[in-house]
Amino acid sequence: MMEFQIIDADYTLDDGKPVVRLFGRNPDGQSVCCFVPDFEPYFHVQAASIEGLLEDIKEIPEIKRTEIVEKYEPIGYQEHPTTMVKVVVGKPKDVPAIRDEVKRRADRIYETDIMFKNRFMIDRGISGMGWVRTGDEVVILQHGVNSDVVVTSQVSPVEVTKNAPLRYLAFDIECLVDVGMPTPDRSPIIMISLAFRPAYTGETLVLVAKKVEGDGIESFDDETGMLNRFFEIVRDYDPDVILGYNSNEFDFPYITRRVEVLEEQGKKLRADIGRDGRTVFCRKIGNTTRVNVTGRIVADALPLIRREYSIKQYTLKNVAQTLLNIDKFDVSVQQMAEYWNDDGEKLAEFIEYARRDAVLALHLMLDLRLLDKYVALAQVSGALLQDVLDGGQSSMVENLLLREFGKRDRVIPPKPDHGGRYNAPDELKGGAVLEPVRGLLKDAVVLDYKSLYPTIMMAHNLCYSTVIIDSETRVPGVIRAPSGGEFVPAEVYHGIVPGILENLLNRRTETKKMMRSADGEEYRVLNATQNALKILLNSFYGYSGYARARLYSLVLANAVTSFGRK
């Protein structure tokens, strides 16, 4: 039996069957990979004729079996559940493969776009950056995973306040430029600086693609040897968090492309730095780049600082001076060739300049505790930390809703392709905005209503599960919003969202009480937790009026703001 903190999750296939892999670290500092078998992918289907549906889909080869279940539809107060079919398939990829085929033979399909790893964590009550306990473990010898401890076992959630002793690796690259800005097709990487917490062979190291001597330096004959050493260090040090400054937009994509260029030239590189033996995966989404390294967290300090601090310039030099009061020596892009070709003082300065970049990125991330809030958001919402860093608040709200809807036997629809999904008023009317009085006023009073919209939702039992959508529904004590929406009172059916909000509010109150007697690391963890609870508390109203949400209900959103205006 062993406990460990979950850093990442995915799945693999064993003899054609999906097996969940949980990556983490235990209290002794060992990296862990736990294979969890016997969890099957599934989704729900609603049809006018269950018998007809079962007959229509019985020949679909991907379907392993079907089960008749009683479930409540996503939106609206319902006195009785609806008979639906739970469709169990063999592999996670079978769900999207047969989704459209099943949809053509049914009225509605539900939960067909939930990633398999998330489905597992939701159903098992497991959270990103949460702790789990294994059962009867079986040590795996042949697994292809880069972790200290590799086992197969079922797991269950366990409450642990502190974080595991995580490993952090910060890095930065320098490129040789002839003219203009570096491009990976023609500008080689000449240095890679690294900073470690805790230390590796030392606290810092600079890899240099030319022969040079010095403390904290390793030199190589060429770029290929230097890159291979970088990948080797990542595998050997086995960090939980790989970070940099603007690393998602520059360093990671640049390294990935340079590997491709060098391999096209016949060079041999082993770039597998994921804990599963895979390479870095970079994907451009709009104006941002998502970077994935399986089993590890990829954190870019620049966007995190942009979210938390308003400063004039977000260059590393200015950020370090403003937030850390640390000066940074700079070498301009135009000077780099001159410094690189010098074998004396300028080259030494260039190497220290590179080293400083990695050190500053590490200090920014850890000294400013940039990850604390996101770790707490993962633990509270249940989402994986990488998803919290990369995504918005809607994904965290949906994670909470999926968990609570499941407990109430209520299904959730897929995300809509276009716009909303349910009949509702055409527009969302916001809160009351009073015309300001012009001029200079004295003795102004500021009134900030604590958690106004969450309080309204709790007080009036406003929820997707309590809104009356059937005009024939007759219940005592109907709550009528000024906007026109009608909801059943808590005495008839306690809404799912009000229940979630009450739980978050109670947890925040209890957490703030615990902070009074806490200090050090425990205080910081608790403070991050209460902040995360506050963020999630204030996210549910906005989600209800978000047209791209799974649960889009303008009746609910308008009811909240109309009570607020009243």
Distance CA 40, CA 448 (A): 48
Does the pLDDT of residue 420 top 60, yes or no? no
Does the pLDDT of residue 156 top 60, yes or no? yes
Average pLDDT on 40-63 reads 95
- Residues 371-415: pLDDT tens digits? 999 999 999 999 999 999 998 788 899 999 999 999 999 999 998
SS (H, E, C) 504-544: HHHHHHHHHHHHCCCCHHHHHHHHHHHHHHHHHHCCHHHHH
**Cβ distance 185 to 73 under 8 Å?**
no
Q: What are phi and psi of 506, to 5 degrees?
A: -65, -40
Closest CA to 545 of 565, 566, 559, 563: 559
Q: What is the pLDDT of residue 423?
A: 47
Q: Any residues with CB less than 8 A from the CB of 497 and at least 6 apart, and which?
A: 401, 457, 462, 463, 464, 465, 540
Is the bond into 198 cis (omega within 30 degrees of 0)?
A: yes
Domains along the chain with CATH numbers: 3-39+128-158 (2.40.50.730), 42-121 (3.30.70), 168-367 (3.30.420.10), 383-565 (3.90.1600.10)
- Residues 173-214: pLDDT tens digits? 999 987 778 899 999 999 999 999 999 999 999 999 999 999
Which two tokens mark 223?
A: 């770029």
Strands 131-134, 108-110: pairing kind: unpaired
Weakest-pLDDT range from 5-14, 19-28, 282-291, 436-445: 436-445
CB atoms within 10 A of CB 214: 13
Indicate the length of the chain as a whole number.
566
Give residue 422's pLDDT band: very low, low, confident or very high (50, 70, 90): very low
Q: Residue 123: what residue type?
A: D
- Residues 358-369: pLDDT tens digits? 999 999 999 999
Q: Residue 386: what residue type?
A: Q
- Residues 424-464: pLDDT tens digits? 445 677 766 778 888 898 888 888 777 789 999 999 999 99
Task: Give burial (CB, 10 Å; 0-12/13-18/19+) of 478.
Answer: middle
Q: Any residues with CB less than 8 A from the CB of 255 and at least 6 apart, and which?
A: 173, 189, 227, 271, 280
On whether the pTM is more than 0.85, the answer is yes
Q: Any residues with CB less than 8 A from the CB of 370 and at least 6 apart, and which?
A: 299, 301, 304, 305, 308, 364
Which two tokens mark 68?
A: 């008749």
